[in-house]
Amino acid sequence: GDSVTQMEGPVTLSEEAFLTINCTYTATGYPSLFWYVQYPGEGLQLLLKATKADDKGSNKGFEATYRKETTSFHLEKGSVQVSDSAVYFCALSDGAGSQGNLIFGKGTKLSVKP
Amino acid sequence: DAGITQSPRHKVTETGTPVTLRCHQTENHRYMYWYRQDPGHGLRLIHYSYGVKDTDKGEVSDGYSVSRSKTEDFLLTLESATSSQTSVYFCAISDRGDEFETQYFGPGTRLLVL
């Protein structure tokens, strides 16, 4: 079945450091790919998404490119801030009657130190 | 922010007790989902609904039942709670339920089964 694998955390960075969180997927169809973020004590919210190969999603300085050839959707940010400390989830939604159901990776906790 | 509320936000109960969690939306979205979040597992789909009285099972549905008698409310019931159901439960909604669409999440319910 479909699955998402993302790098284990926690990840600890200093402010203004470069961030990469790796995400790879396995899917039978042509899924849409998402990054959700969960701030402490809150629910998940969409960070960015890409719905077809070579699409780049971007938001709040974060970017991720849908790479079909490597089945990846790595999250990057050039300069992280303390306020980016959160748990990041990579997810996919496959077509073919999936009813929009999301399959999530296990999450990567990011801590940014001043 | 999408209008999604969950109640209760926190609950402590004993093994064998029935528990009902409520998700309420004000967006008139057709699709509603229940997920559980556990360390090392990310989020996993329990049940979802694609309309009033229309529901289906997700990946981890054993021990859970759902009901949707109105568009705005989606109830999750643990008929006889077990310690393995200690978790954080999130409700989500979407309008079309297709693979391109963003899901919007509620704030979560933290459940402890003693």
Instruction: List per-residue pLDDT tens for chain B, 114 residues long.
Output: 569 999 999 999 999 999 999 999 999 999 999 999 998 888 999 999 999 999 999 989 999 999 999 999 999 999 999 999 999 999 999 987 777 788 999 999 999 999
Query: Helix, strand, or coil here: A84?
Result: helix
Q: Which residues does chain B have within 8 Å of residue A106's beta carbon, measured at their own beta carbons?
A: 40-42
Interface with chain A: mutation pick from B43, B99, B101, B102, highest number of A CBs within 10 Å: B99
Position B39 scores a pLDDT of 87
Question: Has residue A8 got a pLDDT over 90?
Answer: no
CB contact under 8 A, A98 and B99: yes
Q: Does the beta carbon of A111 lie under 8 angstroms from any beta carbon of chain B? A: no
Q: Span A19-25, mean pLDDT?
A: 97
Strands B64-70 and B73-78: antiparallel
**Which CA distances in Å does A2 have to A44, A63, A95, A102?**
21, 23, 11, 10
How far apart CA A20 and CA B57 sit, in angstroms, is: 35
Nearest CA in chain A to B5: A43
Nearest CA in chain A to B110: A41
Position B3 scores a pLDDT of 92
Tokens representing B5? 């509320």
Position A78 scores a pLDDT of 96
Interface with chain B: mutation pick from A25, A42, A101, highest number of B CBs within 10 Å: A101
Question: Has residue A32 got a pLDDT over 80?
Answer: yes
Q: Which long-range contacts (CB under 8 A, 24 or more apart) does B20-24 make?
A: B20/B75, B20/B76, B20/B77, B20/B78, B21/B75, B21/B76, B21/B77, B21/B89, B21/B109, B21/B111, B22/B73, B22/B74, B22/B75, B22/B76, B23/B73, B23/B74, B23/B75, B23/B76, B23/B91, B23/B106, B24/B72, B24/B73
Q: Count the alpha carbons within 13 Å of A65 in the hemisphere toward its beta carbon.
A: 4
Q: Which residues does chain B have within 8 Å of residue A43's beta carbon, measured at their own beta carbons?
A: 4, 90, 105-108
Position B1 scores a pLDDT of 59
Which residue in A49, A46, A28, A23 sits closest to A36, CA to CA? A46
Model pLDDT for residues B37-63, shown as the tens digit of each residue:
998 888 999 999 999 999 999 989 999
Nearest CA in chain B to A96: B99
Position A95 scores a pLDDT of 64
Tokens representing B68? 């949707």
Nearest CA in chain B to A44: B105
Q: State chain A's mean pLDDT as an integer.
A: 93
Question: Has residue A28 got a pLDDT over 90?
Answer: no
Model pLDDT for residues A97-114, shown as the tens digit of each residue:
566 788 999 999 999 999
Position A98 scores a pLDDT of 61
Q: What are phi and psi of A33, to 5 degrees?
A: -120, 145
For a pLDDT cut of 90, what percent of chain A falls above it? 78
Q: Span A66-90, mean pLDDT?
A: 96
Question: Has residue A29 got a pLDDT over 90?
Answer: no
Is residue B16 within 8 A of residue B81, CB to CB? The reply is yes
Q: How confident is the model at residue A1 (pLDDT cuts 50, 70, 90)?
A: confident
CB contact under 8 A, B108 and A99: no
Which residue in B8, B16, B6, B7 sits closest to B92, CA to CA? B6
Tracing tokens 């203004």 back to the chain, one arrives at A16
Tokens representing B38? 């556990």
